[in-house]
Amino acid sequence: MNQTVRIIAGVLFLLLSVTAITVIRINPNTSTPTRSTQTRTAGITQGILPGKIHTQEFTAIKDYMSGIELIFTHGGRNNTNENTLLLLDSNYKTLYTHKFSSAIVKEGDMTPFLFDKSIYVGKGNLLRLCLFSNDASPDNMISALFNQSDSIGPFYLSQVINNDLAGSLKNRIGTYNGSIIIRTYGSDSGQFWLMKVALYFLATIFACFIIWFNQIRTRLVRIRIIPEWVFLIIALPVSAAFVFITPPLQVPDETNHLFRAYEIAEFNILKHAGTSPASMLELDSVFARLHSAAGEKTSLAEINAHSNQKLEPGRRVASSPPELTLPYLPQALGAFIGIMFDCSPMTLMYLGRLFNMLISILIIFFAIRIIPQFKWIFLLLALMPKTLFLFGSLSYDSLTISLSFLTIAVFFYYAFSCTRNIRLKDLALMGFLILLLLLCKPPYFMLGLLFFFIPRAKFGYLYKYIMISIGAVALVLFIYKGGPVITSYFSGKDSAQQVTTIESGSSAADLPLFRPDEQIKLILSDIPAYLKLIAKSGFVYYRSYILESFVGLLGYIDVELPDMLTYSYLILIILVALVLSGENVKLGIPQKTLLFLLLVATFVIVETAMFIYATRPGRDRVFGVQGRYFIPMAPLFFMLFYNRYLNPILNLLFSMRRAEYNKAKVKVKPEIYQEIQENERLFDKYLYLSLIFFCTFTLLYSIYITLIRYYNI
């Protein structure tokens, strides 16, 4: 294709793309709610039955609405009846109608009703949300959940009269105290122009690529793209943005994280469950209203108004932060500096976030540098919005994730890159990393089993390898059995768990909400049934939630990325695992089997921990499992897709020397092929640039939806 043809093709592509982007309507906001009435103490309405209409009145917050989400319950049945949702204005005019089957309803989770296009409702105008059914029955119906303490307007039940909707709504037969649990999505404009600007920019980039394809390709051959530096350049500003744009204490359990960091900063390491400055709790009370309440916003003025609050370390309140110590050292370092300069509680929090971010990013940088292959898998996982958001918080998941990545990198380095025999100091390093993981989160010590990836030949004689293998297994068993003792020493608390004994004759109301002993007995009584329960919880009931919270569920678990972006990110990582490979790394069936078993064991352990300590007895699923719990082991999952066949073919296909290779004699072909795979690798570089652009766009969008969630912009 000559240059003239490329120019014509590029211009045509740009014109068609600009036309399509302009014509296609893009909803302004279907990710971050403008209103939310979620609660942890929900009530259940009467069933949605024929002859009755459930109506919630509320006022519009924005000029346009783009969607609604509601929570329903099936009542333990598999309901299949048909229901209708209506949105009416103040004059009873229908703005939106949607018929839906009860079979699509998510039990106890938000069911979305996203509009095909934004609807003009007018800011401040009265709206009515109506729910009814024509074919439901007491044995085949759903019920909406409502917030018993939060009212956004009248919530009532009406009797249907002669198919007269307006007249029926006026015929109220009952009211609810509170409001239906609802999320509304909207904006001040009918289209999302920021997204359109981004798409215009993307179309222009691709058009330029078409026009100057030869020039770009020639220069790209000489460019070396180093993934660890790409990570550092992107991660530092983005994670720093999360440090400062996420309002104070808007990460789950961040107040307790702040308490523990401050406790360590005071060198009060061994004394657990003591006291913390009351000013920290007061700071939490100011911003707690933002938790999962989309209609609540803050401002820089409000944040600045509390930034000068005195710490007053002598005024204390009782606190019970987490028992861990090691994963709070970065945050404690920031808090210690703040204490030295007599900073406010808010400044201590920001310093803790900042040091947590810097240390976590630095560890990931070295993990990417050390690992011989899978650098781009590490980079993509580390650049996920969720990962960088956690790095920019006080969460102890930050150090857990970064140390897990470093541990995997070190084991793979010794298995595939290290050319000398394994020495005692190498074994000590591996054991030390596993110990650090134990002190962060015990389940991840299983990464020590990656020791068996290291070839036997690197240990010298066979008997030496056998002895070291026995020692490695013994170390794992020691960590498993002795872990609670070590952890309790560093947490300053007796490892023996206090067991609540229930005397015979005690009423159910006297029982604690969570009863670990009872849950353990339930597991042991029928292990196959329990394994089926956790499999159904993880892969059926909460599959979507786990994937969303793995990639980009930010804020106080209420800032969501669009599903398209979430699943695109996951598919992209799988694609990278499939098409990028190296000659020195071979993962055969034995290695992949070990990876698979490690992943299964991690899943079972995480689910079991939440079943025992966060799920009430008698429930048919596991509660509290989030996708972030699986990030530390995630590289192992994507390694299962690794192969060495596709990458050489793709690099040859994209090569500038492909025609030369095809015409070359049989004896010369291997030499040209080797030069393409070693020196050119154009497909890899095209992919690298695409990944950089995609990650940057995803992260900028994540920052944007965080801003519109918490601030009026």
Task: Give me the mean pLDDT over the 58-85 stretch.
Answer: 91
C-beta of residue 457 within 8 angstroms of C-beta of residue 474: no
pLDDT tier, 227 (very low <50, low <70, confident <90, very high otherwise): very high
List C-alpha distances in Å: 483 to 39, 390, 396, 404: 37, 25, 18, 17
Q: How far apart are the first and last CA of the chain?
A: 47
Give 3-state DSSP helix, strand, coil % of the chain, rounded to 5: 55, 15, 30
Q: Looking at residue 509, what is its pLDDT?
A: 47
Task: Give residues with Cβ within 8 angstroms of 333, minimum separation 6.
Answer: 265, 355
**How far is CA 599 from its chain centroid?**
18
Report the candidate in 425, 417, 360 with the shortest Cα–Cα distance to residue 632. 360
DSSP 630: G
Is the pLDDT at 496 greater than 50, yes or no?
no
Q: Are 186 and 65 in contact (CB under 8 A)?
A: yes
Half-sphere exposure of 236 (CA within 13 A, CB side): 10
pLDDT at 542: 85
Calpha distance 42→427 (Å, rounded): 53
Tell me the chain's radius of gyration from C-alpha atoms: 29
pLDDT average, residue stretch 665-676:
87
Mean pLDDT check: name the lowest of 6-20, 214-228, 496-510, 651-665. Answer: 496-510
3-state secondary structure of 647: helix
Amino acid 367 reads A
pLDDT of 386 higher than 60: yes
Position of tokens 């009435």? 37
Residues 429, 316 contacting (CB under 8 angstroms): no
3-state secondary structure of 218: helix
Mean pLDDT over residues 438-461, rounded? Answer: 83
CA distance 656 to 218: 9
The two tokens of residue 143 are 């019920």
The beta strands (E) that lie in 49-108 are given as 52-59, 64-73, 82-88, 94-101
Separation of alpha carbons 452 and 48, rounded Å? 58
Sequence-ordered list of residues with C-beta below 8 angstroms from that of 227, at least 6 positions apart, any chain: 368, 375, 376, 378, 379, 688
Per-position b or e across 180-209, b if 16+ CB within 10 A of its CB: bbbbbbbbeebbbeebeebbbeebeeebeb
Decide: 365 and 379 in contact? Cβ < 8 Å: no
Would the pLDDT of 106 be above 60?
yes
For the stretch 410-435, pLDDT in tens is 999 999 988 888 888 888 888 889 88
CA 22 to chain centre: 32
Alpha helix positions (H), 580-668: 589-613, 634-639, 646-653, 658-663
* 491 band by pLDDT with thresholds 50, 70 and 90: very low
**Which residues lie closer than 8 Å to 517 by C-beta, 6 or more apart?**
499
As a whole number of angstroms, the distance between CA 651 and CA 676 comes to: 7
Neighbours of 94 (CB within 10 A): 11
309-344 tens-digit pLDDT: 898 888 988 888 887 888 999 999 999 999 999 899
Is the pLDDT at 694 greater than 50? The verdict is yes
- How far is CA 138 from its chain centroid? 38
Q: What does the alpha-carbon distance between residue 113 and residue 84 come to, in Å, rounded to a whole number?
A: 11
CB 92 within 8 A of CB 146: no
Element (DSSP H or E) covering residue 366: helix 345-370
The CB-based long-range contact list for 485-489 (8 Å cut-off, 24+ gap) reads: 486/435, 486/438, 486/439, 487/323, 487/324, 487/438, 487/439, 487/442, 488/323
Between 345-370 and 254-265, two packed helices, what is the crossing angle to 10 degrees?
90
**Which SS3 state, helix, strand or coil, does residue 266 take?**
coil
Task: Say if residue 497's pLDDT is above 70.
Answer: no
Is residue 387 scored above 50 in pLDDT?
yes
Query: In this predicted structure, what is the pLDDT of residue 50?
Result: 92
At 461, is the pLDDT very low, low, confident or very high (cuts 50, 70, 90)? low
pLDDT computed for residue 417 by the predictor: 87
Residues 351, 334 contacting (CB under 8 angstroms): yes
Say what the pLDDT of residue 260 is. Answer: 92
d(CA 47, CA 515): 32
| Of 323, 248, 327, 314, residue with least CA distance to 278 | 314
Distances (CA, A) of 272 to 256, 264, 314, 491: 12, 10, 18, 7
What is the C-alpha separation between 98 and 84, in angstroms, rounded?
6
The encoded tokens of residue 545 equal 């939630």
312 Ramachandran zone, left/alpha/beta (phi>0; psi -120 to 50): left
Helix (H, G, I), strand (E, B) or coil at 90: coil
User: Does the pLDDT at position 506 exceed 70?
Assistant: no
The confidence score (pLDDT) of residue 498 equals 36
pLDDT of residue 494: 36
Confidence band, pLDDT 50/70/90 cuts, at residue 470? low
- 505 pLDDT more than 50: no
Residue 356: the pLDDT is 96
Q: How far apart are CA 519 and CA 591, in angstroms?
A: 34
Tell me 457's DSSP state.
G
* Position 499 pLDDT exceeds 50: no
CA 146: distance to chain centroid?
Answer: 27
Could you tell me the sign of the dihedral formed by the alpha carbons of 700, 704, 706, 711, in that order? Answer: positive
**What are the tens digits of pLDDT across the range 116-167?**
888 999 999 999 999 999 999 999 999 999 998 888 999 999 998 887 888 8
- 161-168: long-range contacts (C-beta < 8 A, 24 or more apart)? 165/53, 165/86, 165/88, 165/92, 165/130, 166/92, 168/53
Helix (H) and strand (E) counts in the chain: 25, 17
What does residue 454 show for φ and ψ, rounded to 5 degrees? -70, 125
In this prediction, residue 76 has a pLDDT band, given cuts at 50, 70 and 90, of confident
Cα 205 versus chain centre, distance: 30
